[in-house]
Amino acid sequence: MSGHSASPETSDRPRTPTPASSVTVTQRSCATCRRRKVRCDKKCPCTPCSRGGHACSYPPKQQRAPRVRKATIDDVATRISKLEETLTSIPVREASRPRDRFADSPKTAAAGPHASPLATSAVATPGGSLAPVGSPHPGGEILLEKGSSTQYFNEVLVSRVVGQESDVRTALSTPRTDGLSQAHVPSPFNPMGILSTPLLSHPASSFHPSKHTAVQLWGLFKDNVDCMFKILHIPTSEVLVYTVINDPSTASPEALALSYSVYYAATVVLDEREDCPRLLGESWASALHRYKAGLEQSFAQADLLENPTVVLLQAVAIYLTAVRVHNTGRAIWTLNGLAIRIARSIGLHRDGKNLGLSPFESEIRRRLWWYLLGRDGRAAEDLGLHDFPTPNVILSGGTELPLNLEDSDLDPNMEELPPPRKGWTRMLSSLANIRICQTWADILHLSWASPSAPPPYEARDRIVARLFETIEGLIKECNPVVPLQKFTIIVSRFIARKLDFVTRQQWEAQHHPEQQELLATEETLLEALGLFEEGERMLQDELMRPYLWSMRSYPQYHLMLFILWNICLRPSMSCALGL
């Protein structure tokens, strides 16, 4: 999978790193000049430090990868063939190797006659002993060093690829050095400002858009965003939002936070369309920065961490959902975990009827709680983590599921909830996602229940069959002619089929950790390709275009990883299929 060429005889040899002392060219300014913000001539000592009598020291020099010639198709073919031979000829590896965090080093690469990235990598088991890469989950754990940080993987498919492909490990363990990773570069998709401190010189209301723009964004949110994840009760939230629009300067920080999250999400959905400047009165990026700043100041002035409310948590959920359209990184998942902790602190994990709350308030809390839990189901795909932060909470049923009801069926003064509707509602997509979340948790719980003996295939099959039956029962009354209902049908079935495919491969990997050929078959590759192409076709449907922003929020990493891994493992089969 490397982008450079290597002959079969030399591709597994270690590359001896250039000693730091042999590097004579200083690439960076000295620490003193960087701190004083003056030009450094990069001598040792540099001229500014010599003149000022300052101590001159340079940061550690970073090793540069050696220049290599451009790879040819023959080189790549040879490399893939060599990789295939290596994969299929690896002997059973010993479980007592010294701890190795998969760092490429001469010592690692020369560890015996079968030295290769696969034969020299080990992972830690829960008991503290070591097991070979590709061992059954939950033993398949990997910890990669990434600059001064680390990244942990334990999802069985991701762990297998990362553990066996040195080029993948190198790419993942290399810290980002591009401009986007620099802390001083502002980004409308960096969510860390959610923990800002209040600025008295800039009241939160000062970031509010014009009334015309605010009304347009609220309408866009209701039409294209609210139906994708139903956590608001539009009739009551609309009163709150219009109160803010009427006079932002007198609005509470809580109301401002909800309004700014709505404006931010609606602006993200616009996605730099040609009519953005006309609608927003400014550029797309400028509007995002404005609403992000207003939201952060609203959270700070409301003291989100110490005085959380349901409305503030709704604002957090809307904001994090919108941010992940352009940022699916670790920060989003981490902050969702923070939101779950905040939710627990105000009792969202317990059903409202047991806490003496009204039927209306209990139902709104159910919607929000289950949405926050469902978002954590993407950890396996986004971050390679085969885990839910709160699997026991999901399975315990502490909070009842929300009902299939329209907002018009709910009223703050009602004494009891009406029976759920039988057909399609704007809540149906959220209910389908909740059922899928429960199924993931069920399968996770089952796979961790007996680490020494993987559960039988039939157990997984029963859980998945029950999910398909539930999904079909939910969507059977949907009309595929109506775009939003068509979206509900297609996406619900797609996610259920994908869950079936991914968990089936995980089960296969757990039962047969050393038999790669059971995963890399023509049948499974064609199935993965079919699912991936189905997802791409959804993005081309013009009638569903207003809702496709939510599809872009969830890239199909699992399917893509599986397809690319198959191509590397079985290049001959990939060529036969025209890949």
Does the pLDDT of residue 15 top 90, yes or no? Answer: no
Amino acid identity, residue 417? L
CB 234 within 8 A of CB 406: no
Residue 462 has pLDDT above 70, yes or no: yes
pLDDT band at 61; cut points 50, 70, 90: low
pLDDT of residue 259: 98
> What is this structure's pTM?
0.72
120-127 contacts: CB < 8 A, separation 24 or more?
121/163, 121/164, 122/93, 122/95, 122/97, 122/98, 123/159, 123/163, 124/99, 126/451
- Please give the sequence-ordered ranges of beta strands (E in DSSP) within 121-234, or none if there are none: 122-124, 130-132, 142-146, 149-153
Task: Enumerate residues 6+ apart whose C-beta is below 8 A from 551.
Answer: 491, 535, 538, 539
Buried b (16+ CB within 10 A) or exposed e, 386-418: bbbebbebbeeeebebbbbbebebbeeeeeebe
Measured CA to CA, the distance from residue 119 to residue 509 in angstroms comes to: 18
**Per-residue pLDDT at 103:** 33
- Residue 435 pLDDT more than 50? yes
In a domain, 150, yes or no: yes
Greater confidence (424 vs 161) lies with: 424
Instruction: Give the CA radius of gyration of the chain.
Output: 27
Answer whether residue 459 is part of any domain: yes
User: Per the domain annotation, does 89 fall within a domain?
Assistant: no
Choosing from 173, 203, 222, the residue where a domain stops is 173
Is 209 inside a domain boundary? no
Q: Identify the residue with better confidence: 332 or 108.
A: 332
> Which pLDDT belongs to residue 214?
97
CA-based nearest residue to 339, from 373, 363, 366: 373
> Where do runs of H (alpha helix) occur along 421-520?
428-449, 457-475, 483-511
The predicted pLDDT at position 171 comes to 58
User: Where among 173, 191, 222 does a domain terminate?
Assistant: 173
**Burial of 267 (C-beta count, 10 Å sphere; 0-12/13-18/19+):** buried
CA–CA dist 275, 259 (Å, integer): 22
Q: Decide the pairing of beta strands 130-132 and 142-146.
A: unpaired
Asked whether the predicted pLDDT for residue 49 surpasses 90, the reply is no
Residue 410 lies inside a defined structural domain of this protein = no
What pLDDT is stored for residue 440 in this prediction? Answer: 86
* Percentage of residues in the chain having pLDDT higher than 90: 39
pLDDT level of residue 361 (50, 70, 90 thresholds)? very high
Question: Mean pLDDT lowest for which of 176-185, 372-381, 520-529?
Answer: 176-185
Supply the pLDDT for residue 18: 40
Q: Dihedral of CA 280/281/285/286: which sign?
A: negative
Confidence of residue 577 (pLDDT cuts 50, 70, 90): low
Q: pLDDT-based confidence at 356, cuts 50/70/90?
A: very high
Q: Which residues span the domain enclosing 433?
A: 423-578
148-153, long-range: CB within 8 Å, 24+ apart, which pairs?
A: 148/175, 149/175, 151/330, 151/383, 152/385, 153/383, 153/384, 153/385
Q: Is residue 339 part of a domain?
A: no
- Number of domains observed in the structure of the chain: 2
Q: Is it the case that residue 134 has pLDDT exceeding 50?
A: no
- Residue 451's pLDDT is 61
Size (the chain), residues = 579
Range of weakest confidence among 124-128, 258-262, 439-443, 568-572: 124-128
Residue 389 has pLDDT above 60, yes or no: no
The answer, yes or no, to whether residue 388 has pLDDT greater than 60, is no
Tokens of 342: 């905040």
Who contacts 558 (Cβ-Cβ below 8 Å, separation ≥6)? 157, 380, 381, 498, 502
Distance CA 323, CA 408 (A): 29
Alpha carbon 56 to its chain centroid, in Å, reads 42
CA pair distance 32, 469, nearest whole angstrom = 66
Average pLDDT, the chain: 77
Q: Which residues contact 536 (CB under 8 A, 6 or more apart)?
A: none
Contact (CB, 8 A) for 266 and 221? yes
What phi and psi values does residue 394 have, to the nearest 5 degrees?
-65, -40
- Are 248 and 298 in contact, with CB atoms under 8 Å apart? no
Task: Decide if 305 is inside a domain.
Answer: no
The pLDDT, as a whole number, for residue 561 is 83
**CA angle (487, 399, 304) in 5-degree steps:** 85
Mark which of 123, 158, 173 sits at the end of a domain.
Answer: 173
Quick check: helix, strand or coil at residue 145? Answer: strand
Residue 158 lies in a domain: yes
Tokens standing for residue 311? 């409305």
* Lowest-pLDDT choice from 295-304, 331-340, 487-496: 331-340
Sign of the four-CA dihedral 485, 491, 497, 499: negative
Q: Which residue has the higher pLDDT, 3 or 249?
A: 249
Most confident of 12-16, 201-205, 292-296: 292-296
> pLDDT at position 142, please?
78
The predicted-structure confidence for 201-239, as pLDDT tens digits, reads as follows: 789 999 999 999 999 999 999 999 999 999 999 999 999
Sign of the dihedral defined by the CA atoms of residues 176, 177, 181, 182, in that order: positive
